[in-house]
Amino acid sequence: MVLLNDYDQYGEPILNTLKASLGEDVRLKGESGIMHHKYMVVDQAHADSDPLVLTGSHNWSSSAHLRNDENTLIIHDQGVANAYYQEFVPRFRNGEILVSTEDKKHPLLSDLQVQIYPNPASEWIHIRTEEGMEVASIFLMDPGGRVLQIQEGNIRNGMDVSHISDGLYFLSITFGGGGQVVRKIAVL
Tell me, what CATH number does 170's domain have? 2.60.40.3580
Q: Is pTM beyond 0.85 here?
A: no
CA 21 remoteness from chain centre: 6
CA-CA-CA-CA dihedral for 134, 137, 142, 144, to nearest 10:
-110
* pLDDT higher than 60, residue 56: yes
What pLDDT, on a 0 to 100 scale, did the predictor assign at position 106? 44
Domain hosting 88: range is 2-101
167 in Cβ contact with 1 (< 8 Å): no
Q: Do 136 and 152 share a domain, yes or no?
A: yes
Confidence category of residue 163, pLDDT binned at 50, 70, 90? very high
Rounded-to-integer distance, Cα 162 and Cα 171, Å: 15
Q: Which secondary structure element, helix H or strand E, spans residue 54, and what is its range?
A: strand 52-56
Q: Do 77 and 125 share a domain, yes or no?
A: no
Residue 49 phi/psi, 5° resolution? -110, 15
Structurally, the chain folds into a number of domains equal to 2
* pLDDT higher than 90, residue 107: no
Q: What average pLDDT does the segment 161-169 reach?
A: 92
Q: Do 10 and 56 share a domain, yes or no?
A: yes
